[in-house]
Amino acid sequence: MRPDKGENRPPGFVLAGLDGVDGPLTASIVPKLVFSNTNGREPSMEQVTPVGLDLAKKVFQVHAVDAAGAPVVRRALRRRQVLSYFAKLPRCLVGIEACATAHYWARELAKLGHDVRLIPPAYAKAYVRRNKNDPARACPRAGQRPDPWAAAICEAVSRPSMRFVAIKTAAQQAAAGIHKSLPPRRRGCARCSSNSAQC
């Protein structure tokens, strides 16, 4: 009931929308939104649980979510900034797409105490939301250029049924490089162990 209007209404009369069930009468009465991060800075480092790291030549993309799954960090890092950035983070789960340089970065991040897991590229591709490889083309608005691959890696690493690639040591990577650089052997005769196929 609105006593301030001075209109004659029967006792117990309630206008629709003022009983607390239907919401406000007009659009001018809008509940205030509460923002937890109003200072414009990144969230606290303690809030980050899984992190997706998309490797590149110069600029790496970082995508991190909190325990509820909401994105809290989306940023680009130069190559020289990666180790100092992850040194500030508390121990967390870091997902990287498996490639030749991913083994190096996995070893370096593991030295900092993080749980690093390498994801095969075919498994990470299933979690890409847009078919765009370049973040500039993925979201053309200035200032908001999230990397779809970093988000996909972050999503994939948190799945319990995901299969991961074992992290190779530097010696294992060197041996694999030597093995790949050897010339291919020709198939020969198994009986006389000659290289001629006419035996």
| 78 to 75, 105, 127: CA distances (angstroms) | 10, 13, 25
CB 57 within 8 A of CB 49: no
Share of the chain above pLDDT 90, in %: 27
pLDDT band at 35 (very low <50, low <70, confident <90, very high): very low
Which segment of 30-34, 112-116, 168-172 scores lowest on mean pLDDT?
Answer: 30-34
Residue 78 half-sphere exposure, CB side, CA atoms within 13 Å?
Answer: 2
- pLDDT of 19 over the 50 cut: yes
**115 or 43, which is more confident:** 115
Residue 46 to residue 38: CA distance in whole angstroms: 18
Residue 65 to residue 73: CA distance in whole angstroms: 7
Q: Which domains does the chain have, with CATH numbers?
A: 47-175 (3.30.420.140)
- The token duo for 123 is 């498994």
Radius of gyration in angstroms for the set of CA atoms belonging to the chain, rounded to a whole number: 28
| pTM exceeds 0.75 | no
- pLDDT of 27 over the 50 cut: yes
- The token duo for 8 is 């004659």
Across the range 174-189, mean pLDDT stands at 69
**148 or 113, which is more confident:** 113
- pLDDT of 3 over the 70 cut: no
Across the range 109-122, mean pLDDT stands at 93
pLDDT band at 61 (very low <50, low <70, confident <90, very high): very high
